[in-house]
Amino acid sequence: MKILLVSDLHYTLKQYDWVLNEAGDFDLVVIAGDHLDISSAVEIRAQVTVIQAYLRQIGARTRLLVCSGNHDLDAFNNAGEKYARWILRARQFGVPTDNDSIVVDDTLFTICPWWDGPDTCSRVGLLLERDSKKARKHWVWVYHAPPDASPTSWGGHRYFGDSQLVSWMQRFRPDMVLSGHIHHSPFKPGGSWVDCIGDTWIFNSGRQPGPFPTHTIINTGEQMALWFSIAGAESVALDQPLVRPVAELTGLPDWLKK
């Protein structure tokens, strides 16, 4: 299976255009949250309309999975916690999203919502517990935040990851977590786009401006993962213990040095 992972596109339409154009070359595309941009001058409901159109088009070209991120929350649940109500409408055109699970080949994908409080956090735990009992050969989580105390959640001065995710990983031991959220982790000394905790591989492609997003290509048949950005490229072998990739980054732009 050939998977394209992106995240944190934040209503950058030229990057959505890139994903749309590339989608047909992949068996699966994962957009791991933060589709919208709460700091944008474009009103959120207008952003939702545009992004839903992109999700429909991408989903028509290949299998697409999407989860919500912290920028995507537009409603309150009965517990008074925010959630992404709009993203659930992606199911209408065949795109699995928050709280869904789907089997592709021999791999179970569990798609987790962004949790805004204890009620939603508990529901994510129940979702993972439910799926842990399902038959599968491999198990992959789509989860916007990377785990805490991981290079994939390093912001340059401290970690910004999800400690609850660490607990769930220790309990359920998925094969992979496909995440995003911390934009500069792949570019900071001590940070990375890839990590391995126990038996679990974690990926966070990061974020960059420009016509194409930072992205990770995971080829399960070749047991390779490759990361691409405007600063360069790196790769790791998934059938070997993780050795921190030797950076091939060249000419880091000023915004990545901050």
> Which CATH number is 81's domain given?
3.60.21.10
Token pair for 240: 């070997």
58: containing domain: 2-241
pLDDT at 244: 62
DSSP at 73: -
pLDDT at 91: 98
Question: What is the spatial distance between Cα 184 and Cα 154, in angstroms, rounded to a whole number?
Answer: 8
Please indicate, yes or no, if residue 255 is contained in any of the structural domains: no
Please indicate, yes or no, if residue 45 is contained in any of the structural domains: yes
Residues 6 or more apart in contact with residue 35 via CB below 8 angstroms: 9, 10, 11, 51, 55, 66, 68, 69, 71, 72, 87
pLDDT at 247: 42
pLDDT at 253: 45
226 C-beta neighbours (distance < 10 Å), count: 17
Please indicate, yes or no, if residue 256 is contained in any of the structural domains: no
Please indicate, yes or no, if residue 226 is contained in any of the structural domains: yes
DSSP at 38: T
Please indicate, yes or no, if residue 231 is contained in any of the structural domains: yes
pLDDT at 250: 43
pLDDT at 100: 98
pLDDT at 173: 97
Residues 6 or more apart in contact with residue 87 via CB below 8 angstroms: 35, 66, 67, 68, 72, 97, 98
Location of structure tokens 């691409």 = 228
Any idea what the Cα angle at residue 60 is, between residues 35 and 24, rounded to 5°?
90
Please indicate, yes or no, if residue 257 is contained in any of the structural domains: no
* Host H or E run for residue 179: strand 176-179
Instruction: Give the number of domains in the chain.
Output: 1
The distance of Cα 170 from the centroid of its chain, to the nearest Å, equals 19
Phi, psi of 211 (to 5 degrees): -75, -20
Question: What is the spatial distance between Cα 189 and Cα 191, in angstroms, rounded to a whole number?
Answer: 5
Please indicate, yes or no, if residue 22 is contained in any of the structural domains: yes
Phi, psi of 240 (to 5 degrees): -135, 155
pLDDT at 249: 40
Helices 44-61 + 13-22 axis angle, to 10: 10
DSSP at 42: S
pLDDT at 243: 75
The distance of Cα 146 from the centroid of its chain, to the nearest Å, equals 8
Per-residue pLDDT of the chain (258 residues; tens, 9 = 90+): 999 999 999 999 999 999 999 999 999 999 999 999 999 999 999 999 999 999 999 999 999 999 999 999 999 999 999 999 999 999 999 999 999 999 999 999 999 999 999 999 999 999 999 999 999 999 999 999 999 999 999 999 999 999 999 999 999 999 999 999 999 999 999 999 999 999 999 999 999 999 999 999 999 999 999 999 998 999 999 999 887 654 444 444 454 444
Query: Is 242:226 a contact under the CB 8 Å cutoff?
Result: no
Please indicate, yes or no, if residue 70 is contained in any of the structural domains: yes
